Amino acid sequence: MDLPSEAARRAILTSLARHFDDWEDALGTAELVLPNSDYFPDAFTNDQASVERLFQRMCSYVPIASDLPIALVAIDDEDEANHCGSGACGTGAKLLPTSCLTEESGRYIVPLTRGSLSSSIALTTAFARSAGALVLAEAGEHYDAPGDAELAAVACGLGPLLLNGSAVFAKGCGGLKFHQATELDASELGFATAVFVNRFDHKSGPLRSLLAATQKEAFDGALAWLDAQADLNEHLRQRPALLATGLFEFRAKTGLLSRLFG
């Protein structure tokens, strides 16, 4: 899989670096939250209590107050008529509400569609994005551009959950269907998650073992590219504020002899 465009990589790096700098104290060492029972040990039975417990668990991994007034509210699914019982027959667009977070009467409203309940991946993807939106809202920041809430979630360690939902293949009535439950695509979220892994020096193996082929290819390609960007990685770890300005250059790809002799 190709890397995101240079413009996309620059925008992702700038946004993440700004969050790393602004939220340094709140993020601390920032865990890499994986989609496994270590991070989500609660039994899930698809009822209201399970859904609310899952969202509370998700929010516990981002730097927001534990007592924020938040309500999960069911909303109509515009594409519901086009779906079979498996949830695999629609376009996938229904998995992404127009707004993942609104404020009403002093509380946050997180919309929940039937589509987002169609699978564990769809639900955790939607909740990860909403958790990112909550962090932005509590920080007094807007999320008008596509992917803002998702990049905030990545900065808090939820990248694996979003990457998981960026390319889903499921069998439906007409055969295999592709779903993208995210605003950013797999290459962009693979790149963003790789940036987070490098920034906090996490091991990539545990995440790679949980990724599907498309997501793994995107993540591996991004890691390989970042490995050749020594200056950029140093700034990410030590001086993210420099990258937050957007005034940086990418190191050009070099041949074997150039790498051997510096």
DSSP secondary structure string for all residues of 196-240? HHHHTT--SHHHHTT--HHHHHHHHHHHHHHHT-HHHHHHHHH-H
pLDDT, tens digit, 9 for 90 and up, residues 130-153: 999 999 999 988 777 779 999 999
Q: What is the DSSP string of 49-97?
A: HHHHHHHHHHHTTSSS-TT--EEEEE---TTGGG--TTS-SS-SGGGS-
Average pLDDT of the chain to the nearest whole number: 84
Q: Which helix (H) or strand (E) holds 111?
A: strand 107-112
In a domain, 1, yes or no: no
The stretch 64-78 carries a mean pLDDT of 83
Structure tokens at 33: 């939250």
pLDDT of 100 reads 63
Q: Quick check: helix, strand or coil at residue 118?
A: coil
Number of domains in the chain: 1
Contact indicator for 113, 75 with CB cutoff of 8 Å? yes
Q: How many CB atoms lie within 10 A of CB 61?
A: 20
230 in any annotated domain: yes
Could you tell me the two tokens for 155?
A: 């900065």
The residues near 102 (Cβ < 8 Å, ≥ 6 apart) are 108, 109, 111
Q: What does the pLDDT read at residue 253?
A: 64
Residue 183 near residue 92, CB atoms below 8 Å: no
pLDDT at 97 over 60: no
What is the share, in percent, of the chain residues with pLDDT greater than 70?
Answer: 84
- Whether 240 is in a domain gets the answer yes
Residue 259 lies inside a defined structural domain of this protein: no
pLDDT of 92 reads 33
Residue 253 lies in a domain: no
Distance set, CA 77 to CA 62, 81, 88, 136 (Å): 28, 9, 14, 26
Residue 251: its pLDDT value, please?
80
Beta bridge partners of 72: 110
pLDDT of residue 81: 38
Looking at the domain assignment, is residue 11 inside a domain? yes
Could you list the residue range(s) of the whole structural domain that residue 16 is in? Answer: 6-247
Nearest to 183 by CA among 210, 212, 152: 152
Overall pTM > 0.75: yes
Distances (CA, A) of 249 to 13, 88, 245: 11, 42, 12
Q: Give me the DSSP letters along 1-34.
A: -PPPPHHHHHHHHHHHHHHHHHTHHHHTT-----
For residue 8, which of 215, 128, 187, 178 has the smallest C-alpha distance?
187
Q: What is the pLDDT of residues 215-238, one digit of tens each?
A: 999 999 999 999 999 899 899 999
In whole angstroms, give the CA distance from residue 150 to residue 191: 13
Question: What CA–CA distance (Å, rounded) separates 211 from 54?
Answer: 21
pLDDT confidence of residue 254: 53
Residue 77 is predicted with a pLDDT of 61
